[in-house]
Chains A and B, each alone.
Chain A
Amino acid sequence: MAKKALKKYCYDISLSEGAGAHLVSWVTGLMVFFVTLALLVNFSLATITKTWVTGLSGALTVEIKPPLSPKEGGEPSSQSQKKFENSVHRVLTLLKDNAAVSEARLMTDAEIRSLIQPWMGPGVTVDAVYLPALIDIKLTPNADVARLQSDLKAVEPDAGIDSHTDTLDDVKALVKTASLFVLLLTSVIVVLAVVAISGIVRSKLLIHESEVETLHLIGASDEYIARQFRMHTLRGTLKGALIGLVCTLAILLVIGSLTHTLDDTILPHLKWAPLQWLLVVVSPIAVGSLIAHLTAQATVLKELSKLT
């Protein structure tokens, strides 16, 4: 039945024959491939940013300077060592009972050394370096960070407090720029596809000029003729869009298998909601088909309006 209906609407003009019969499929396939890829990149960026921001925004690091800086040389005096230990104790006591803090942990020397070692370069030992005390704080939701910082400064004026705001702002700015770039690229791809499909439809009108003119002269309305081009373009579009989507998903699979061994902190594993998957699968095909459909319709009607 469907085949019969398609036959009725698709085959008056021999659009499936002649040069460039499958160009629409190629153009739409490429468009859907790139648009899906862009959509995937955008979703990935959003997921990665969310993971990073969540990881950083709920944390503070307090640094209490060592009793003697390496510049000063020599061994720290027992007095300055005692002062250092008291400072650490005061800060930990403050944090223990603070409503803004869900967890405060004094990092071990070994952990601090492992953080410093990559910056020292090979061959340099960090054993001789006097280490600061680093307290890793996890904040409670809706914590009053400003008040906590001022409380910390009150008990230990020399303590360094890193709320990671600069890093977060940089990450957000970078991701925003990348998202805008992807959006711009997607718009360019869509515009190019519209221009290409319009050109293909125009050349098809020229190739099948005699058939179009005959239909016109035997009383076919512009809409009847345009429908033939629209249906043909839609079929080509769906075919191309499906191929483009399969190619994108295949690439995603390859990238996924290559990056699954990476550390979660560098590239968080992407877990998308079903709605996001639906958007990735359906929207490029739907948008691609709609664009091709409307472009074909508008182009044919515009060209037919030039006939008597």
Chain B
Amino acid sequence: MALVKFSNVALRYDTGPYVLHDINFELEAGSFHFLTGPSGAGKTSLMKLLYVAQKPTRGMISFFGMDLATTARKTMPEIRRQIGIVFQDFRLFNHLSAFDNVALSLRVAGQTEKNIKKNVTELLKWVGLGDKMACQPNVLSGGEQQRIAIARAVINRPKLLLADEPTGNIDDNIGIKLMTLFEELHRHGTTVVIATHDEDIVRRFPHPQMRLEHGTLEMIPKAHSKAA
């Protein structure tokens, strides 16, 4: 069964022109995709549909076998908790410590404080921030902030991990380390979609591409991707 399925999905904002049309694809569990395309092609819009921040104007989207159109509103948080998101601008809470930022994902899921302490400490150590758990994000570097954002996205062991331009604001070396981290998560069974315009990253890590041009999606298998 496909983890995510888009059938004839189209999107437009209010009465504006369609930014996405006839989007059809399936993401199998454990897959790794790059979402590529030029600026203005609709990557951000497709990401919004993928992290359920936006409803499609038409078409059908299903997550984990559930059709979004017929899913009750009160069930939506449960679906969202199975999707980890690394936002382009991180969206960290600057008044909270690194620990509390990562703990958010567990707190909204109703985990006990004992579990939260154990899991967050472990994960922050794994991403190399064990000594900065009490620091607020605004005193940390861009790379460190990004690792907090990733930790927050994966702490819940999501089935689907979405990252929007994760290498956009960091230097190449950190970008490569970051991609290695995503590969590691992928090896642990997480389905990963990374939206990027970084051709170098796409070349270095040969995974299938979802290429958007003028609001239309083309699925490029691994063998035919540019890296191949």
Contacts and interface: CB of A to CB of B under 8 A. Distances in A.
Interface of A: 8, 11-14, 17, 210-211, 213-221, 224, 305, 308
A220 B107 CA distance: 9
B96 A217 contact: no
Nearest to B76: A308
B105 A219 contact: yes
Contacts of A219: 77-78, 80-81, 105, 108-109, 156
Contacts of A221: 74, 77, 108
Given A308-B52, A308-B53, A308-B54, A217 B80 contact: yes
Interface of B: 51-55, 73-74, 76-78, 80-81, 85, 87, 91, 93-96, 100, 104-105, 107-109, 113, 152, 156
Contacts of A13: 93
Contacts of B156: 219
Given A215-B108, A218-B81, A305-B73, 11 more contacts: A17-B95, A218-B80, A219-B77, A219-B80, A219-B81, A219-B109, A220-B77, A220-B108, A308-B52, A308-B53, A308-B55
A12 B52 contact: no
Contacts of B81: 218-219
B152 A218 contact: yes
7 contacts: A11-B95, A14-B95, A214-B91, A215-B108, A217-B53, A217-B85, A308-B76
Contacts of B100: 11
B55 A12 contact: no
Nearest to B51: A217
Contacts of A305: 73
A10 to B, nearest CB: 11
Contacts of A210: 91
A238 B104 CA distance: 27
Contacts of A215: 104, 108
Given A14-B95, A224-B108, A308-B54, A8 B113 contact: yes
Nearest to A7: B100
B103 to A, nearest CB: 10
A52 B77 CA distance: 64
Contacts of A218: 80-81, 85, 104-105, 108, 152
B49 to A, nearest CB: 10
Sorted nearest first, the 8 A-B pairs with minimum C-beta distance are: A219-B81, A220-B108, A219-B80, A14-B95, A214-B91, A221-B77, A219-B77, A219-B108
Contact of B93 (A12, A217, A220, A308): A12
Nearest to A17: B95
B54 to A, nearest CB: 6
A224 B76 CA distance: 13
Contacts of A12: 93, 96, 104, 107
A52 to B, nearest CB: 59
A276 to B, nearest CB: 44
Nearest to B95: A14
B146 to A, nearest CB: 15
A221 B91 CA distance: 18
Nearest to B48: A308
A11 B108 contact: no
A39 B96 CA distance: 43
Contacts of B78: 219
A304 B100 CA distance: 23
A305 B72 CA distance: 12
A213 B156 CA distance: 18
Contact of A217 (B52, B55, B74, B95): B52
Nearest to A13: B93
- Interface centre among A215, A221, A224, by most B CB within 10 Å? A221
A211 B104 CA distance: 11
A211 B94 CA distance: 10
A80 B8 CA distance: 117
Given A219-B77, A220-B77, A221-B74, A8 B53 contact: no
